[in-house]
Amino acid sequence: MAPRMDAFWMPFTANRDFKQSPRLLARAEGMHYWTPEGREVLDGTAGLWCVNAGHARPRIVEAIARQAATLDFAPPFQMAHPLAFELAERLIELTPPGLNRVFYTNSGSESVETALKIALAYHRMRGEAQRTRLIGRERGYHGVNFAGTALGGMGPNRKMFGASVAGVDHLRHTHDLTRNAFSKGQPEHGVELAEDLERLVTLHDPSTIAAVIVEPMAGSTGVLLPPKGYLQRLREICDKHGILLIFDEVITGFGRLGSPFAAQHYGVTPDMITAAKGVTNGCIPMGVVFTKQEIHDTFMEKSGPGIELFHGYTYSSHPMACAAALATLDTYAEENLLTRGARMEAKMQEAAHALKGLPHVIDIRNTGLVAAIEFAPRPGAPVGRRGFEAFLGAFEKGVLVRAAGDNIAISPPLIIQEQQIDQIFSTMREVIESLA
């Protein structure tokens, strides 16, 4: 019996269209979903960039059930539970050296808000309260809270809500189809786009800028990779002017590119990393902010007695989330999943780029276990229509991918096998050949 659908206002969804022709998922295991009718669907998106170890992994399921029966909730303010400390120690084994302090949140959006608030408070603690300006980047996505929306660079996410946060500016995006179309891995051209930060520094005065936040690889706008040398140059400019550099690794963290974090993959260490999604394999909501010790120590040394940071959430370090995260890290370690993307990259690259030359395909991009196919917009149709039709076509043929405008993003669980990569891209070939 189909559920009534009136009451649920769905997020990031065309509600009126969806409820006329709903796409429902009833259960999941391993690499697959099943619809209520029993139709099998290969998960080509790791849920929503988050189910990195595959669905319904027994170790994780059992850890959640055991924790629910042992300690279902513990207050995080002025109290704690042992798993929160154990998990923090496990997590910093995966981060670049120096990023060894952990603050818990419940989502990527909350991680971004937390990191930006820490940045503002850090400068104030150091006697530079005038550093209030925050810099994002066009075509960036940093969640949907006020600061994340303002710092993000996706027009539709911003236009409905007005300015939301003052004192924000944006770097230009790095997507250059003219010079970099069909790149394999990092594009060759575009390092000079990092100089945009020097332009903004000159415009606003470096002493007013608190932080720059970028996704090392922008996922939600269609898998936009950084040009070679770009992130290194951003790091240099931030160091020159005393600006904090934040990497939003909500998507790239926990193995997506073939390293635990994109910071290691690209050889650039930021001052903070925001993470979520893969930390619990998507099973229980959780987010994390990693900071350099120097940032943490500034709060410990320069605040007055009592609370050092007036920030946190009721569900920060939730016991069930910590249990899920510890079991997820065990699963990643036992199966070497955090580096598996590097081993599978050549297969993914070959399969993705084999679609070059198909109708309407104007670019293909890939790195690790992630790829994107970009379509030319259909003349006279809304932007993204061709991409959405490709998403629908793939779902009807038993493969779940993600539409991002006129891009199809493919980011399967890290447990994917070669024949399943072939299935995803052979299905995409059929779908693309049928697109108008």
Whether the predicted pLDDT of 155 surpasses 90: no
Residue 1 confidence (pLDDT): 57
Return all residues near 217 (Cβ < 8 A) that are at least 6 apart: 223, 224, 225, 226, 251, 252, 257, 262, 367, 370
Mean pLDDT of the chain: 97
In terms of Cα–Cα distance, which of 238, 293, 285, 288 is closest to 260?
Answer: 288
Helix intervals (H) in 82-184: 82-91, 108-125, 146-151, 155-159, 177-180
Burial 64-102 (b: 16+ CB within 10 A, else e): beebeeeeeeeebeeeebebbeebbebbbebbbeebbbb
Residue 170 confidence (pLDDT): 97
Residue 338 confidence (pLDDT): 98
- Sign of the alpha-carbon dihedral angle for 95, 101, 106, 108: negative
pLDDT digits (tens, 9 = 90+) for 46-72: 999 999 999 999 999 999 999 999 999
Sheet holding 209-214, edge to edge: 101-105, 287-291, 272-275, 244-248, 209-214, 133-137, 168-171
The answer to whether 222 and 407 have CB atoms below 8 angstroms apart is yes
Helix intervals (H) in 168-257: 177-180, 196-204, 230-241
- Sign of the alpha-carbon dihedral angle for 253, 256, 262, 267: positive
- Sign of the alpha-carbon dihedral angle for 146, 148, 151, 153: negative
SS3 assignment, position 215: coil
pLDDT digits (tens, 9 = 90+) for 99-135: 999 999 999 999 999 999 999 999 999 999 999 999 9
Whether the predicted pLDDT of 230 surpasses 90: yes
Return all residues near 181 (Cβ < 8 A) that are at least 6 apart: 362, 363
pLDDT digits (tens, 9 = 90+) for 325-375: 999 999 999 999 999 999 999 999 999 999 999 999 999 999 999 999 999
Residue 296 confidence (pLDDT): 98
- Sign of the alpha-carbon dihedral angle for 367, 373, 374, 376: positive
Which pair of structure tokens corresponds to residue 348? 């993914």
Distances (CA, A) of 253 to 91, 292, 316, 421: 11, 17, 19, 21
The answer to whether 103 and 287 have CB atoms below 8 angstroms apart is no
Do you know the residue count of the chain? 436
- One-character DSSP codes across 251-262: TTTTTTTSSSSH
Residue 162 confidence (pLDDT): 82
Residue 98 confidence (pLDDT): 96
The residue with tokens 């940045």 is 119
pLDDT digits (tens, 9 = 90+) for 259-285: 999 999 999 999 999 999 999 999 999
Whether the predicted pLDDT of 228 surpasses 80: yes
This prediction's pTM: 0.97
